Copies of this chain bind each other. A is one copy, B any other.
């Protein structure tokens, strides 16, 4: 039953696109479970996630030999392995800064709790929100970031504030010991190299679409 895991020497330098695809695989498993498919082929997994089958096999093989030749991959095993690889075997403590509509949407978003994330505290500048709870999460005043993040040993900060405030908040989060930031503000954050940042820019995504829409009109 126990499957080989790739040795540490081999596990290095996994391509970033591979990492980015793992969540996609993860998201397609429930569909197979629901259809009572306990074993699936790379072809099926590929079809379900819109990726080339060879790519799927290569991606998975970076982390070990999870499949059985001639048979396929055990969905449950694969699901567990993917979660482990993505670091989802532990619960990550998150601070949400900005309890506006976007922040509230993130608090409500079931995907987080399910996937092993716990929003430990929320912060907002609006005094009328401070002290209240939203989805069971206490809202603090923004200046409390340093203290609360430190006390609760929060590891990841999620920024749902206007761009004008983003850098200042990021500085506080970094100062309080956060190791990664997910930034929804449309700006580039300056942080120490040891802190990871991923930006999600909603307008950029639309602009990417309009590039192709406009281009296809030309033809």
Chain A residues in the interface with B (C-beta under 8 A): 8, 19-20, 22-24, 26-28, 48-50, 85-88, 90, 92, 94, 100-102, 104-106, 108-109, 111-112, 115-117, 155-156, 158, 160, 179-180, 182, 186-188, 196, 198, 200-215, 218
Secondary structure at chain A's binding surface: helix, strand, loop or mixed?
A: helix
| 19 A-B residue pairs with CB within 8 Å | A20-B204, A27-B187, A27-B201, A28-B188, A85-B211, A87-B215, A88-B210, A92-B206, A92-B210, A100-B108, A101-B108, A102-B102, A112-B206, A116-B210, A156-B209, A158-B206, A196-B213, A198-B208, A200-B205
Which residues of chain B come closer than 8 Å to A180, judged between CB atoms? 209-210, 212-213
Which 10 A-B residue pairings sit nearest by Cβ, starting from the closest? A87-B214, A23-B204, A101-B105, A102-B105, A87-B210, A111-B203, A101-B104, A180-B209, A101-B101, A23-B207
Q: Are the CB atoms of B105 and A100 closer together than 8 Å?
A: yes
**Complex Cα distance A131/B169, Å?**
38
Q: Are the CB atoms of A117 and B206 closer together than 8 Å?
A: yes
**Complex Cα distance A26/B207, Å?**
10
Having A27-B186, A92-B210, one finds 13 other A-B pairs with CB under 8 Å, namely A8-B218, A23-B204, A24-B188, A27-B188, A85-B211, A87-B211, A88-B210, A100-B108, A109-B202, A112-B203, A115-B207, A117-B203, A180-B210
Which residues of chain B come closer than 8 Å to A50, judged between CB atoms? 188
**Complex Cα distance A218/B207, Å?**
38
**Complex Cα distance A71/B99, Å?**
45
In the complex, the count of this chain's copies comes to: 2
Select which of B102, B116, B198, B203 is within 8 A of A23 by beta carbon: B203
Q: Given that A92-B210, A210-B88 are contacting pairs, would A205 and B198 also be in contact in the complex, using a CB cutoff of 8 Å? A: yes
Select which of B86, B94, B112 is within 8 A of A211 by beta carbon: B86
Q: Are the CB atoms of A196 and B182 closer together than 8 Å?
A: no
A110 to chain B, nearest CB (A): 9
Counting chain B CB atoms within 10 Å of each CB, the highest count among A48, A106, A202, A210 belongs to A210
**Complex Cα distance A50/B19, Å?**
21
**Complex Cα distance A204/B23, Å?**
5
